[in-house]
């Protein structure tokens, strides 16, 4: 049992900020939020002068690429397909998948990302999948492992989804069958797309809230309306989309149409692994009434996009205790609203504490279950070998 005392709580999901409040956690779940909570059995952690908010959720990341950080800084799409998805991926053994996922998950936690929707190209065999799932359990991160031929996992931290080529990169009939199969299993299906087949998907009755569309840089206003009406998840990864030439971010189009787009990192071969930069990049591209509204795109809207809004994405009684504690605003914490300042001013270095499922995985600025330095050394060995 844990009691976070005297924090400045940003609960998310439209709930007002609480300038001084406590959060009581038991058995992985938020039991109470309010002023002057007491619990004789709880370990008390003083978080005064700190922001307490939901853990960040990345709706699209190829986590296995963590050891390859930076190798694609000048890479176009053909280069990515041949070097990363071709040569490098074919060199990954289950052990590599394990350590690469541990590294990617550790770096995410370090930046306050508590849930990864992991497009796991590396889960080609049962051994690969075991290696990836156990990596998340060892590090203590929450993950949805999206696989081409999904094996249903439903543990406290790790669940499954289906990742398919989709009708733009694959063929239509296969996509229709794959979506139907995932629906039978109750899994989210995710696809990379520009959005140009949205009308056809709509007319075939295929759109729905259990589809997660990634990028969507070619959508028209009509496409956006159909996707918003269907409640489909949208993951915009603005840094990678700009660097690799996918096109401009559609984030503002979806917001203006009443949609709730989410953000993601995608690949760290050419982008940073935190979610603060995608928020700020989105601020540079569109005008929002409040910078703080972008927090939704990495919390509650991200949870909705991956079908987990009933469990994570906001601080509410009964939700899983996925929580981050941020420094850097101690002069404002407890004094005035802080959401916009978090979006405009903070970053990875301000993430002081991270809890996933009620367990402290980062404390006093240091990861509890992972030694980043040794993981990076292992990752460096993987990169040198698989890149030749």
Closer CB to Zn ion, 8 or 192, in the complex: 192
- Distance between alpha carbon 225 and the CA centroid of its chain, in Å? 24
Q: How far is the CB of 21 from Zn ion (least distance, A)?
A: 38
Quick one: CA dihedral 345, 348, 351, 356, positive or negative?
A: positive
- Per-position x/- string for 357-376, each x denoting binding to Zn ion as judged by CB under 5 A, each - no binding: --------------------
Which among 295, 298, 302 has a CA at the least distance from the CA of 338?
295
Cα–Cα distance measured from residue 287 to residue 297, given in angstroms and rounded to the nearest whole number: 15
Closer CB to Zn ion, 96 or 266, in the complex: 266
Pick out residues in 252-291 that bind Zn ion (CB under 5 A). Answer: 266
DSSP 8-state secondary structure symbol assigned to residue 274: S
Closer CB to Zn ion, 85 or 335, in the complex: 85
Q: How far is the CB of 92 from Zn ion (least distance, A)?
A: 17
The first and second tokens of residue 38, run together, are: 């007491």
Closer CB to Zn ion, 86 or 186, in the complex: 86
Closer CB to Zn ion, 85 or 204, in the complex: 85
Q: How far is the CB of 62 from Zn ion (least distance, A)?
A: 6
Q: How far is the CB of 159 from Zn ion (least distance, A)?
A: 19
DSSP helix/strand/coil, 93? coil
Question: Which residues have a Cβ under 8 Å from the Cβ of 173 and sit 6 or more positions away?
Answer: none
Closer CB to Zn ion, 118 or 266, in the complex: 266
DSSP helix/strand/coil, 66? helix
Which among 208, 319, 212 has a CA at the least distance from the CA of 262?
212
Burial (0-12, 13-18, 19+ Cβ within 10 Å), 37? middle
Q: How far is the CB of 266 from Zn ion (least distance, A)?
A: 5
DSSP 8-state secondary structure symbol assigned to residue 153: -
Closer CB to Zn ion, 118 or 210, in the complex: 118
The first and second tokens of residue 244, run together, are: 């690799």
Residue showing the smallest CB distance to Zn ion in the complex: 266
Burial (0-12, 13-18, 19+ Cβ within 10 Å), 60? buried
Task: Report the 10 Å Cβ neighbour count for 371.
Answer: 11
Closer CB to Zn ion, 266 or 296, in the complex: 266
Q: How far is the CB of 83 from Zn ion (least distance, A)?
A: 15
Q: How far is the CB of 163 from Zn ion (least distance, A)?
A: 9
**Are 131 and 115 within 8 A, CB to CB?**
no
Burial (0-12, 13-18, 19+ Cβ within 10 Å), 30? buried
Cα–Cα distance measured from residue 144 to residue 198, given in angstroms and rounded to the nearest whole number: 25
Q: How far is the CB of 352 from Zn ion (least distance, A)?
A: 30
Closer CB to Zn ion, 18 or 235, in the complex: 235
With CB under 5 A as the rule, give the number of residues binding Zn ion: 1
Q: How far is the CB of 240 from Zn ion (least distance, A)?
A: 8
**Are 59 and 262 within 8 A, CB to CB?**
yes
Q: Name the site residues for Zn ion (rule: CB under 5 A).
A: 266
């Amino acid at each position: 049992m844990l009691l976070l005392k005297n924090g400045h709580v940003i609960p998310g999901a439209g709930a007002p900020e609480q300038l001084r409040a406590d959060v009581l956690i038991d058995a992985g779940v938020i039991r109470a939020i309010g002023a002057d909570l007491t619990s004789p059995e709880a370990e008390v952690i003083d978080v005064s002068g700190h922001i307490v908010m939901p853990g960040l959720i990345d709706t699209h990341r190829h986590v296995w690429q963590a050891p390859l950080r930076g190798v694609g800084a000048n890479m176009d799409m053909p280069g990515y397909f041949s070097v990363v998805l071709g040569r490098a991926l074919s060199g990954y053994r289950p052990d590599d998948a394990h350590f690469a996922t541990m590294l990617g998950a550790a770096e995410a936690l370090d930046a306050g990302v508590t849930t990864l929707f992991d497009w796991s190209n590396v889960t080609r065999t049962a051994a690969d999948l075991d290696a990836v799932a156990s990596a998340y359990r060892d590090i203590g991160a929450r993950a949805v492992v999206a696989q081409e031929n999904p094996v249903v996992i439903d543990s406290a931290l790790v669940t499954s989804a289906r990742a398919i080529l989709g009708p733009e990169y694959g063929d239509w009939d296969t996509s229709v069958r794959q979506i139907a199969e995932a629906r039978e299993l109750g899994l989210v299906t995710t696809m990379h797309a520009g959005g140009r087949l949205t009308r056809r998907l709509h007319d075939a009755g295929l759109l729905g809230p259990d589809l997660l569309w990634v990028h969507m840089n070619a959508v028209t206003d009509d496409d956006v309306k159909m996707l918003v009406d269907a409640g489909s998840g949208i993951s915009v990864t603005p840094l990678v989309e700009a660097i690799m030439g996918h096109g401009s971010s559609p984030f503002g189009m979806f917001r203006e149409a009443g949609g709730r787009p989410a953000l993601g990192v995608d690949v760290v071969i050419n982008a940073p692994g935190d979610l603060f930069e995608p928020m700020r990049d989105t601020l540079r591209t569109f005008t929002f009434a409040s910078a703080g509204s972008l927090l939704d795109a990495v919390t509650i809207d991200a949870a909705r996009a991956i079908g987990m809004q009933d469990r994570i994405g906001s601080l509410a009684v009964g939700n899983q205790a996925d929580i981050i504690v941020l420094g850097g605003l101690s002069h404002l914490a407890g004094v005035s609203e802080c959401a916009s300042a978090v979006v405009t001013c903070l970053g990875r270095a301000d993430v002081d504490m991270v809890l996933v499922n009620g367990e402290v995985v980062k404390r006093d600025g240091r990861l509890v279950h992972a030694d980043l330095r040794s993981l990076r050394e292992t990752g460096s060995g993987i990169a040198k070998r698989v890149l030749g």
